Amino acid sequence: MRKPIYIITLFLSIQAFAQRNEPVEKMNVLFIITDDLNMTNLSFYGAGVANTPNLDQLAESGTVFERAYCQVPVCNPSRASIMTGKTSQSLRIWNNEPHFRGMYPKIITLPQRFKSNGYYTAGIGKIYHNWAQSIQGDPKSWSAPELYHYAPHYRDWYVPGRPYEIHNDLSKGPSVQKADVPDEAYLDGRIANEVVKRLSEIREVPFFLAVGFWKPHMPYNAPKKYWDLYDPKDLPAIRYKDKVEGVPEIAYINSPEAASYTDVKKGESIPEAKRNELRHGYLAAISYLDAQIGKILRELERLGLADNTIIVFTSDHGYHAGEHGQFGKWTNFEVGTRVPLIIKIPNVQNRRSNSLAGLVDLYPTLLELCGLSPSHEVDGNSLVPTFEHTNAQVNDLIVSQIARPAGAVSNREVLGTSLRDENYRYNVWVDESNGEIIAEELYDLSTDFLKVQNVINDKKYKSAKKMLSQKAQEILSKTNYK
């Protein structure tokens, strides 16, 4: 009975917009967010690893941010930060619980702000977090019910005879699946099809359409044709594929995410053969994701909407796809916090921005581009100056935070705060019970942003350490842990 109700609700909501007889002069927004996408594999960042022709084309026509970062390298807090324009310190959310709406019932989300200004807003796929607290999604954000927004990732699995459904009766199984099936056998294929359909339905009204793809999050279960794009015997080498001497143990996560699947042993290093298989599957998942994005971008062009639509493409956080021997998130390393970010604005010349950018900046940026203002004080800064001047610098510093133990919800003990400025990344780990500093890291990334050499005790970097540690203490003094 749910499907007919959904269709009726969608039809009536679209009709309500259409009957206003207002000229469509507002700029549309197509907001695409992925899950666990490591930017170091992407060709448009110079990696030449993943096969992503559609994203490469989008990058050629939009503004690519070379140094964009999440505020928390975990799904729930990162997405809450993006959609509210508030940092983890402000929200006091560092893990996959609680859901932001339970803490802030009156806060105005990004799509909610567009909705209140006459936009049709829709969320298709994983926009907010997809755990149990998100079954109902966030109705306040949308003009129509969300779709494909809730399920554990491992239940997006191909089961012969039941190819086009979320399998709620499945327990967590292997981390990979290579089945010779159509794109729609997995969730992202169905999400892309629904978005294509929805674009035709809402083309006459101003819209904010958020699309949340589930890939390349584990399990790596893209259709076989995407696995076949890569030779498993000739996969690109990974730099810093093992732990590095001099880096405190607390900085690592020991791959708890990968180890939660049945084919990866808990508490042990992932064997080389399994790392290669996971690496292969991760790249296949990225190419599968790219193909779904291509379907949407082509439909946008076909409908004549591309000239009036701002396109955003990003990931909720960074990801270790073999770096440091890990397949997972939850780190304050550069690879754990750095994200891909493309913003395409009609009639704005393609460019690359080297400005430090935070995902928290997207809230004020999109509102300004569409002539709107935030409904509350936001923590991010608008990136609009970067579209006007190639060398514009919007932020001097980007702050990311993560909790330990990894994955903790109610038993968080240590907070890791990471500061990224033009040249350095400084990480400090603080015991929340007494404010004691447990460990510090300092990385000089001025010539190599992936370099992992902790120079915290090197006298050459004494002044950089002092400056960044003082800033970190200022931030921590304003952080309300409870």
Beta strands in 202-282 (DSSP E): 207-212
Q: What's at 101, amino acid-wise?
A: R
Q: Rounded distance, CA 162 to CA 466, Å?
A: 59
User: C-alpha angle 351/300/355, rounded to 5°?
Assistant: 20
- What six digits make up the tokens of 66? 């070379």
**Beta pairing, strands 309-315 & 28-34:** parallel
Contact assessment for residue 34 and residue 316, using Cβ atoms and an 8 Å cutoff: yes
| Alpha helix segments (H runs only) across 30-155 | 53-61, 75-84, 88-91, 100-103, 110-115
Q: Residue 29 has which token pair? A: 């927004």
What pairs with residue 437 in β-bridges?
Answer: 430
| Active site (catalytic) residues | 75, 129
Three-class SS of 2-61: HHHHHHHHHHHHHHHHHCCCCCCCCCEEEEEEECCCCHHHCHHHCCCCCCCHHHHHHHHH
Q: Pairing state of beta strands 63-69 and 351-358?
A: parallel
Classified as helix, coil or strand, 243 is coil
Q: Which residue, among 351, 356, 363, has the nearest Cα to 339 in the 3D structure? A: 356
**C-alpha 394 chain-centroid distance:** 21
- Encoding tokens for residue 69? 């970062």
Whole-number Å distance between alpha carbons of 38 and 416: 21
C-alpha torsion sign, points 306, 118, 145, 91? positive
Torsion angles phi and psi, residue 416, rounded to 5: -100, 120
Separation CA 348–CA 23 (nearest Å): 23
127 alpha-carbon distance from chain centroid: 9
Cα separation values, 293 from 30, 43, 195, 211, 330, Å: 11, 16, 10, 10, 26
Q: At what angle do helices 272-302 and 187-202 cross, to 10 degrees?
A: 10
